[in-house]
A and B are shown apart, each in its own frame.
Chain A
Amino acid sequence: DAKTTQPPSMDCAEGRAANLPCNHSTISGNEYVYWYRQIHSQGPQYIIHGLKNNETNEMASLIITEDRKSSTLILPHATLRDTAVYYCIVRGGGQGGKLIFGQGTELSVKP
């Protein structure tokens, strides 16, 4: 099961783009990259996922490098409500049982 590495913390100014990196150098060909966030002690919330193409939804964009060994989550216009812990994980397509979350990145959005 692939493991991910993220910086423990990052700051971002309100209104600016927040770019959160994730390294997953041991990712397998059928594993997807997922991003979740957790606000305080609530249940983690799904943000976005992708296999190899870049993805965008109403919450964020996901940029995956061509070799798939790393990715970046982009929150285009960060707000104070985006302050949270962000987790990057990899999960196999349809068969992903064992999941490794790691410690995530604590993003602080400052006014």
Chain B
Amino acid sequence: EAQVTQNPRYLITVTGKKLTVTCSQNMNHEYMSWYRQDPGLGLRQIYYSMNVEVTDKGDVPEGYKVSRKEKRNFPLILESPSPNQTSLYFCASSPLLWGKSSPLHFGNGTRLTVT
């Protein structure tokens, strides 16, 4: 089944303790991206990647890192989490079709709480 898989679904951690949220897709998509969702603010893009070793900042990249060493994986790294990073996080992927366009496929989300 074609899907975007995020892990973990729920995570509670403490301020300053490094964590990684994984995202994997099995559709051979070039494009992957991370979003956070907070009440009243909709979905905001954190980082995106157009292909392996190509990443770029979205609207709210501060406090986050990403890497794209393999096509299928796009982990989100919080080196020193803070309470204002408590949020619902989504990973998404899509193919990149030159001259055309294609929809994003979203994961089921990771709810992170930083105390």
Query: Taking CB as reference atom, which chain B residue is nearest A103?
Result: B42
Cβ-defined contact, A97 with B31, below 8 A: yes
Are A43 and B40 closer than 8 Å at their CB atoms? no
CB-nearest residue of chain B to A35: B103
For A32, A99, A100, A101, the residue with the greatest tally of chain B CB atoms inside 10 Å of its CB is: A99
Q: How many A residues are at the interface, by size bracket?
A: 20 to 34
Rounded to whole Å, the gap between the CB of A1 and the closest CB of chain B is 9
Secondary structure call for the A interface: loop
A94: which of B37, B100, B106 is its contact (CB, 8 Å)?
A: B100
Question: A45–B45 Cα gap in the complex (Å)?
Answer: 16
Given contacts A43-B108, A43-B109, A44-B106, contact A98 B45 (CB under 8 A): yes
For window 20-51 of chain B, which residues contact chain A by CB distance below 8 Å?
Answer: 31, 33, 35, 37, 40-45, 48, 50
- A 37-59 to B, binary, CB cutoff 8 A, 1 in contact else 0: 00001111110010100000000
Q: A15 at the A/B interface (Cβ < 8 Å)?
A: no
Residues of B within 8 A of A (CB): 4, 31, 33, 35, 37, 40-45, 48, 50, 56, 58-59, 88, 90, 92, 96-101, 103-109, 111
State the 5 A-B residue pairs at the shortest beta-carbon distance, nearest first: A43-B106, A101-B43, A103-B42, A46-B103, A94-B98
